[in-house]
Structure formats: structure tokens, C-alpha cells
């Protein structure tokens, strides 16, 4: 059993030329291609495996402003509006709903942290409401427990990880773009130091503009053109249960477990932040960048195994452009979930929400969350090669802000006014120390 995902049909080969080539058809790549196609660009979206098959279908589905790092908050607010705009254009909601997100806690320090964030967020127009004991108990009635407090964010919501990226990819084609699955981008062709084309396993696509939105594969691809991108991935495991549990919140977070309604009426279950770190060449070589991250989050990170090493997505070796690459050997990252973490998650969920006790498990899966040293993405058009834009390192926050990241990428490619400030997303920030700058959420 693995994460459910909608499959779509696409052409088998790319065209020989394009205005822009987007590499990677996760939520960021499909969104970037969508906004470029809507702007009239002849865009080609390349996916080595299947659209949305990696982390974009393996996440919770939350689309939130609540508890966002200040550097991401404006992009989060824009993204909520863009989910609605894209859904209206596509003719499908993408499972997006402003159902509200509920946070409950019995930890006074955690509650105070939420209150501190809320004081900041309300100052910039975010609707976030602290809950006292009585209100928390009422909204968390499905738990049958009393709570010291919580947060209710009524304008935040969820979307459908199983369908969102594939349906947006179909919209790219509706707007005249090309989407090609099972077609790995092996590298770049350069002319006078600028982008001139993308070398794929099915030929070269001539272009002067490329977007690297390859998720966990981005750093190894950029290594081929001598661009250093500090990136590490953590393996997170979760599961889903079927329909049948009545009276549960659509999206609930507690420290022991978080629960999210899925489009089929079932629920996704996960433990926030809990993940395994599988060693890889990239992670070991970039360890110095990630020391602040590990220092902040060591309590929820566990040592992993050799799955990631053998998958090769964080390799630092050079590959030949006329031979199969690691991306063709492993089309889709589908790591084995941690049985121990799955059992713990299910046990906690059924203890928290009695309505789940008799509902069967429908799927279990794991995914690799690619992160930057500070937990904030890189979205940058000035990384060393003119014509190359990087949008990766979404650090577990990417699904909800995917539409906004895609729009911001399109702004950069087209040279138009960006929808939000971009300075905080520059790759060059990692040339300086990151101590004390790690995202809190």
C-alpha cells in the first residue's frame, strides 16, 4: 500500500524547443508551468516518473498561514487565494477547502508560542484565534478530553494531495503547454555561459529558460553544472484510514498526532516533525550547513538506514549525459515506511479519537521531505547561470504554498513584478552562517 494518486496520460516525447522548460512535476513544478502557460508561454514540463508521485502526493494536504515562519507568511496568504483561482479556472476545486485548522494542547509553553505568533500574525491581517479551555474542549469534542487551550485558524484549509498536482498538470496542457512523464532531464546545454537547452533521455529541448523544481533531486542535478545547493532529506512515514469516523475535525493538530480528512472521507494520520534521517553523500558533505537544524530538532529526528543512499537522489558524483542517470534508475522515490512509526501513529490516533478505533487502515507510505538548512525554500533566478531558476527545498511546507511558489517562479521567468518579496528565498544566503535562523515551524 502506498499513497493514493491520480494517474494522467501525457505525450511520450517533448517538443524540440520551448520558451521555458520546467523540470519536476510536483506541486511546485506543475504550478510554475501552469502560470507560465496561462501567460502565453510555450512551456514544457518534464517529469522523470509520474506527475505528483513523490512528496506532492505524500503530504498531509494542509494549506496554512497558521504558525508559518514570517519569511513564508506572505507567500502562504497569496497561495490560499491562488488555490481558489486555479480551481475556478480548472473547473475542479482540487480538494481545496477553507475548512479551518484546529490546534489543541495541554502544554502551556506551546500555547504561549502560538499566542506569540498570533500577536504577530494579526498585525499583518491573518485571522488566527486563541482558544481558552472551554472553547478548546468544544472544538475538540471528538477527543472526549479537556484541553488547556488551542488555536483556530478559520481561513486556512486543506487540498487533495492525491489529485491536485495531476489536475494542475492537465490544466497546463489545456493552456497549450506540454507535459511529458517518464522523461528524465539529464542536464543543461549552455552557450556563452547561459542556458541554451535541456538534455533529456529523449533528446534535447532548445530553450533559454529552465526552472529546476526537482524536489529532493535538485542538488544532485545542480551539482552537474557546479552549483552548490545545500539540501538534505528526511524520511517521514504516515498512513490513511477509510471513511466511517463521524464528528472529527477536518484538520486537527496535537503534539501526539495530527489528523486530516481526505477526499474519500477517510483520514490521514501523522506525527508532526517525526522523521528518519537516512545518510546520503549530499547530507554528509553538507553536514556543517545543517548543524543548526539538527540542534533545533534532534528530539523528533531519528537515525535511518541506507534507503536514500541506494536511491541515489543525493549523489555527488558526475554522470554522463548520454547514459542513464540515477533518475532513470529510480523513477519514483517510494521509500519503505517505518513500521514502528506507523504503529505509534495509529495507536496515538485511536487513543485521541475514539471514532477511529474500528476504522481500517487503507494505506501506509513514506516520502522524502527535502529541506534547506534554515527550513525556508530557495526560489531564486540568480544562482550562477543566466536563464536558470531554482525552486526547491520546500522543507515540508511546499504543498500548501505550491501555487504561490509557482506564481513567483513565473514572475521571475517573465521579468514581471513578483507577488511577494524574494530576498529571503535567495540561494546566496547560505554563504553566511545559519545559526539562530532556523524556521520555528
Rounded Cα–Cα distance for residues 216 and 286 (Å): 14
State the residue for C-alpha cell 485571522. 127
Query: Comparing C-alpha atoms, which of 101, 40, 80, 54 is closest to residue 254?
Result: 101
pLDDT at 297: 64
- Asked if 188 and 225 count as a contact pair (C-beta separation under 8 A), the reply is yes
Compute the chain's Rg from CA coordinates: 21
DSSP strand E in 98-221: where?
A: 101-105, 129-131, 149-153, 157-158, 178-180, 185-191, 194-200, 203-206, 210-212
Question: What's the rounded Cα separation, in Å, for the pair 150 and 187?
Answer: 48
Which residue's entry shows cell 534508475? 329
Cα 208 to Cα 175, 283, 364, 414, 416: the distances in Å are 21, 31, 41, 12, 17
Q: Please report the pLDDT score of residue 302 as a whole number.
A: 77
Q: What is the pLDDT of residue 273?
A: 87
Number of H helices, E strands in the chain: 12, 21
Residue 91 burial (CB count, 10 A): 9
**Alpha-carbon distance 395 to 223, whole Å?**
20
pLDDT value at position 298?
Answer: 54
200 burial (CB, 10 Å; 0-12 / 13-18 / 19+) is buried
d(CA 415, CA 433): 30
Provide the CA 21 distance to its chain's centre, in angstroms.
20
149 and 105 Cβ atoms separated by less than 8 Å:
yes
Mind listing the pLDDT tens digit of every residue in the chain (441 residues)? 689 999 999 999 999 999 999 999 999 999 999 999 999 999 999 999 999 999 999 999 999 999 999 999 999 999 999 999 999 999 999 999 999 999 999 999 999 999 999 999 999 999 999 999 999 999 999 999 999 999 999 999 999 999 999 999 999 999 999 999 999 999 999 999 999 999 999 999 999 999 999 999 999 999 999 999 999 899 999 999 999 999 999 999 999 999 999 999 999 999 998 988 888 887 777 777 777 766 666 566 778 888 888 899 989 999 999 999 999 999 999 999 999 999 999 999 999 999 999 999 999 999 999 999 999 999 999 999 999 999 999 988 899 999 999 999 999 999 999 999 999 999 999 886 555 477 665
Amino acid at each position: 500500500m502506498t499513497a493514493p494518486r491520480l494517474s494522467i496520460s501525457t505525450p511520450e516525447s517533448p517538443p524540440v524547443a520551448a520558451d521555458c522548460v520546467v523540470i519536476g512535476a510536483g506541486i511546485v513544478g506543475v504550478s510554475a508551468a501552469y502560470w507560465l502557460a496561462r501567460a502565453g508561454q510555450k512551456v514544457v514540463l518534464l517529469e522523470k516518473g509520474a506527475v505528483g508521485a513523490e512528496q506532492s502526493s505524500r503530504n498531509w494536504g494542509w494549506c496554512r498561514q497558521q504558525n508559518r515562519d514570517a519569511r513564508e507568511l506572505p507567500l502562504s496568504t497569496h497561495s490560499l487565494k491562488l488555490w481558489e483561482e486555479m480551481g475556478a479556472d480548472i473547473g475542479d476545486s482540487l480538494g481545496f477547502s477553507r475548512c479551518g485548522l484546529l490546534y489543541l494542547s495541554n502544554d502551556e509553553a506551546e500555547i504561549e508560542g502560538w499566542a506569540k505568533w498570533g500577536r504577530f500574525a494579526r498585525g499583518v491581517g491573518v485571522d488566527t484565534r486563541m482558544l481558552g479551555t472551554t472553547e478548546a474542549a468544544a472544538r475538540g469534542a471528538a477527543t472526549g478530553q479537556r484541553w488547556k487551550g488551542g488555536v483556530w485558524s478559520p481561513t486556512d484549509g486543506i487540498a487533495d494531495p492525491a489529485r491536485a498536482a495531476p489536475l494542475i498538470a492537465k490544466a497546463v496542457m489545456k493552456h497549450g503547454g506540454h507535459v511529458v512523464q517518464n522523461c528524465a532531464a539529464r542536464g543543461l546545454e549552455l552557450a556563452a555561459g547561459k542556458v541554451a537547452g535541456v538534455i533529456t533521455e529523449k533528446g534535447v529541448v532548445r530553450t533559454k529558460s529552465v526552472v529546476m523544481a526537482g524536489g529532493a533531486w535538485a542538488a544532485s542535478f545542480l551539482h552537474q553544472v557546479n552549483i552548490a545547493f545545500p539540501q538534505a532529506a528526511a524520511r517521514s512515514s504516515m498512513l490513511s484510514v477509510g471513511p466511517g469516523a463521524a464528528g472529527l475535525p477536518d484538520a486537527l493538530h496535537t503534539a501526539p498526532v495530527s489528523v486530516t480528512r481526505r477526499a474519500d472521507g477517510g483520514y490521514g494520520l501523522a506525527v508532526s516533525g517525526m522523521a528518519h534521517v537516512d545518510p546520503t553523500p549530499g547530507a554528509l558533505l553538507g553536514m556543517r550547513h545543517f548543524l543548526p537544524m539538527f540542534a533545533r530538532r534532534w528530539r523528533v529526528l531519528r537515525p535511518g538506514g541506507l534507503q536514500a543512499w541506494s536511491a541515489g537522489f543525493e549523489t555527488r558524483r558526475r554522470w554522463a549525459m548520454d547514459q542513464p542517470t540515477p533518475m532513470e534508475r529510480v523513477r519514483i522515490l517510494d521509500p519503505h515506511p517505518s513500521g514502528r512509526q506507523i504503529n505509534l501513529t495509529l495507536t496515538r490516533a485511536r487513543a485521541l479519537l475514539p471514532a477511529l478505533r474500528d476504522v481500517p487502515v487503507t494505506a501506509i507510505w513514506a516520502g522524502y521531505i527535502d529541506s534547506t538548512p534554515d527550513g525556508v525554500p530557495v526560489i531564486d533566478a540568480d544562482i550562477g547561470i543566466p536563464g536558470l531558476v531554482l525552486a526547491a527545498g520546500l522543507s515540508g511546507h511546499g504543498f500548501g504554498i505550491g501555487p504561490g511558489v509557482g506564481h513567483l517562479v513565473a514572475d521571475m521567468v517573465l521579468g514581471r513584478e513578483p507577488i511577494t518579496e524574494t530576498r529571503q528565498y535567495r540561494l546566496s544566503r547560505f554563504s553566511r552562517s545559519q545559526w539562530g535562523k532556523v524556521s520555528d515551524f
